[in-house]
Amino acid sequence: MCRRRSDAELLAAALEDGEAFGEFYDRHVGRVLAFFRRRVFEPELALDLAAETFAGALASVAGFEPAGGDARAWLFAIAHHKLADAVRSRQVQDCVRRALAMQPVAVDDEALATLERLAARGALELLDELPPQQRHAVTARHLERREYTEIALELRCSESVVRKRVSRGLAALRRAALESGFS
């Protein structure tokens, strides 16, 4: 059985193996898209910024120092810079993508649907990190839109216990989102 390679191992391997960078991309694209989707109004702009972020990461992968910090923090530092550059210039700078001869992102209805799914996947990954009771309470209340009384009956506890679980779960999600650069 193969063990899952760490982000740092994937980035080190990406110097020789494009599939390693593809795995790194697949692992983080949902959160990167969600990061941009929450900060920019237009889905197309979020797609462009995410593409430029990963192009920038690929272009500078040789400079990644595992001892200097976590790979996800490194990736989100790139994302922050791309966003700041876009805000400052009022457009996405695509010079890195062009230098790497990467094609522009084709934005159609399917691409927009994919963006929304990936952004949701990033949020769901954070939700999966909650303790089971909090995850159930948050899911029932905010995704299924159920009333506290109904959830309390199902869980055989008081409504105030359900409210507390939801509150703690949402607080944990906010903390995790801030730590991951997802918010």
List pLDDT tens digits, range 113-146.
Answer: 555 555 555 666 667 778 888 888 887 887 677 8
Residue 135's alpha-carbon distances to 24, 64, 171, 176, 179, in angstroms, are: 26, 35, 12, 14, 19
Residue 75's closest CA among 139, 132, 136, 28? Answer: 28
Q: Mean pLDDT across the stretch 44-62? A: 87
- What kind of fold does domain 1-119 have according to CATH? Rna Polymerase Sigma Factor; Chain: A (1.10.1740)
For residue 101, pLDDT beyond 70: no
Contacts of 168 (CB under 8 A, 6+ apart): 134
Segment 163-169 mean pLDDT:
86
Higher pLDDT, 43 or 31: 31
Tell me the C-alpha distance between 48 and 53, whole Å: 9
CATH code: domain 129-183 is: 1.10.10.10
Domain residue spans of the chain: 1-119, 129-183
Locate 92 and state its tokens.
């996405």
Higher pLDDT among residues 38 and 79, named by residue: 79
Three-state SS at 91: coil
Distance in angstroms (rounded) separating the CA atoms of residues 106 and 137: 39
From the list 119, 33, 139, the residue with the least C-alpha distance to 83 is 33
First-to-last alpha carbon distance for the chain, in angstroms, is: 35
User: Binning pLDDT at 50, 70 and 90, where does residue 53 land?
Assistant: very high
Q: With cut-offs at 50, 70 and 90, classify the pLDDT of residue 183.
A: very low
Beta strands (DSSP E) in the chain are none
Residue 24's pLDDT is 92
